[in-house]
C-alpha cells in the first residue's frame, strides 16, 4: 500500500445490526476508506457478481458480517435457506477475496457454532467437539463451513483470515419483527406492545431458566475497529463475549424496568428454548484489550430508544 494512502475496507452486510455499527465506528477514522454495497447493488448469493466486484474494488481488508439470521422458530421452519444462503454467502465472499488478493479478512461467526449443552464457558477449541443444537443446526453448519474455509485459506495461502465468534448481539438497527428478532429485540417489542395494550401478562417461552450471553453491538464494533491494526496477531478463532450470562427471566425483568411494564410473566413450557446455556470464554480476547463497556440496562435502554424512533418514523 503506497505511503499515506487509505486502507480500503469492504464491509459485507453494512446495513445489518453489526455492519451498521461498524460503519458508524470506522467511518470516523480517516485512515480507512469504506467500500459499501447494498443487497440490490451486489447480490452476495451471485458468485460471478461477487468475484467481479472483488477484482474491481481490490479491498485491503474484508469484514464479512452479512448473513441470513432469525430467531428459533424461523430456524426451525426454514433450515434449508438458513444453511444454503449462509453457506453460499460465506463461500462467495471468502473465496472471491482470496482470488482477488485480499490479505486480511474478518469473518463474523456465531456462538451457535458450538456444541449443544457442552462444557461452559465455551472455549474456541470446543468447535466440532460434539453434536450441534438441532433447532439452528442449518445456520450453525453454514457458519462453521465459512469459518473452516477462512482457516484453510490462512494455512494454505498465508493470508490473515480470522474468525471472531461473538455471543448474541443487540442494539440500534436490530430486527424487531417476530420472524427475525432475537431474544432482547423480541422482549422489547413484546413488552412495549403489552404496555401500550394494557396487557396483564406476557408469555415467556420455556420456564425462563435458559441462560444467554448478550453484548451491546457498539462494544464489539469498537473492538473490531481497533483490531484492524493487528489482524495478523489474532488467533484463527477468537470468542468475543460479555463475560457473564443471565437467565431469560432476568432479561425480561430488566427490560420491564426500562420500558415501564408492570404486568406479570407467564411461562409457556410447550415452546422451544434452544440450548440451556452457551456462555463464551473470552479470556483470549482480553489479551488483545477486549472488555465490554455497556451494561445491559443501559444497552436495553438505548435499544428501546431506537425502537421507539423506528415506530415514530414508520407512522
User: In this structure, are residues 104 and 61 in contact, taking their beta carbons and an 8 Å threshold?
Assistant: yes
Region of residue 171 (left: phi > 0; alpha: psi -120 to 50; beta: else): left
Q: Beta-carbon neighbour count of residue 37 at 10 Å? A: 18
The SS3 call for residue 189 is helix
User: In this structure, are residues 130 and 115 in contact, taking their beta carbons and an 8 Å threshold?
Assistant: yes
139 is catalytic: yes
DSSP state letters, 19-87: HHHHHHHHTT-TTEEEE---TTT--TT-HHHHHHHHHHH--SEEEE-------HHHHHH-HHHHHHHHH
User: In this structure, are residues 136 and 210 in contact, taking their beta carbons and an 8 Å threshold?
Assistant: no
Q: Which of 107, 114, 139, 237 is catalytic?
A: 139
In the numeric block, which cell numbers belong to residue 154? Answer: 490462512
In the numeric block, which cell numbers belong to residue 68? Answer: 441470513
Q: Strand 168-170 vs strand 214-216: parallel, antiparallel, or unpaired?
A: parallel
Q: Beta-carbon neighbour count of residue 228 at 10 Å? A: 18
Cell numbers 445489518 label which residue?
16
Q: Which residues contact 114 (CB under 8 A, 6 or more apart)?
A: 122, 126, 127, 278
User: In this structure, are residues 268 and 203 in contact, taking their beta carbons and an 8 Å threshold?
Assistant: yes
Q: Which residues are annotated as catalytic?
A: 139
Amino acid at each position: 500500500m503506497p505511503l499515506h494512502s487509505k486502507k480500503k475496507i469492504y464491509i459485507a452486510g453494512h446495513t445489518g445490526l453489526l455492519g451498521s455499527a461498524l460503519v458508524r465506528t470506522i467511518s470516523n477514522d480517516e485512515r480507512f476508506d469504506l467500500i459499501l454495497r447494498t443487497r440490490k447493488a451486489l447480490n452476495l448469493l451471485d458468485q460471478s457478481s461477487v468475484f467481479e466486484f472483488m477484482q474491481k474494488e481490490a479491498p485491503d481488508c474484508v469484514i464479512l458480517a452479512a448473513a441470513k439470521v432469525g430467531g428459533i422458530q424461523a430456524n426451525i421452519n426454514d433450515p434449508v435457506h438458513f444453511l444454503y444462503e449462509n453457506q453460499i454467502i460465506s463461500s462467495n465472499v471468502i473465496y472471491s477475496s482470496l482470488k482477488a488478493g485480499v490479505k486480511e479478512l474478518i469473518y463474523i461467526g456465531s456462538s451457535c457454532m458450538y456444541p449443544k449443552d457442552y462444557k461452559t464457558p465455551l472455549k474456541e477449541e470446543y468447535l466440532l467437539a460434539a453434536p450441534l443444537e438441532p433447532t439452528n443446526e442449518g445456520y450453525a453448519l453454514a457458519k462453521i463451513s465459512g469459518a473452516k474455509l477462512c482457516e484453510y485459506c490462512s494455512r494454505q495461502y498465508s493470508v490473515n483470515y480470522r474468525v471472531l465468534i461473538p455471543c448474541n448481539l443487540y442494539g440500534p438497527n436490530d430486527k424487531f419483527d417476530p420472524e427475525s428478532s432475537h431474544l432482547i429485540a423480541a422482549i422489547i417489542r413484546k413488552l412495549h406492545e403489552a404496555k401500550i395494550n394494557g396487557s396483564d401478562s406476557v408469555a415467556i417461552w420455556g420456564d425462563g431458566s435458559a441462560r444467554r450471553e448478550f453484548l451491546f453491538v457498539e462494544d464489539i464494533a469498537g473492538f473490531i475497529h481497533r483490531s484492524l491494526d493487528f489482524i495478523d496477531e489474532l488467533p484463527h478463532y477468537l470468542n468475543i463475549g460479555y463475560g457473564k450470562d443471565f437467565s431469560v427471566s432476568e432479561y425480561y425483568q430488566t427490560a420491564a424496568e426500562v420500558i415501564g411494564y408492570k404486568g406479570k410473566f407467564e411461562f409457556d413450557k410447550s415452546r422451544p428454548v434452544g440450548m440451556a446455556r452457551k456462555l463464551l470464554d473470552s479470556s483470549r480476547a482480553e489479551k488483545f484489550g477486549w472488555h465490554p463497556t455497556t451494561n445491559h440496562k443501559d444497552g436495553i435502554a438505548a435499544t428501546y430508544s431506537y425502537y421507539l424512533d423506528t415506530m415514530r418514523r414508520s407512522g
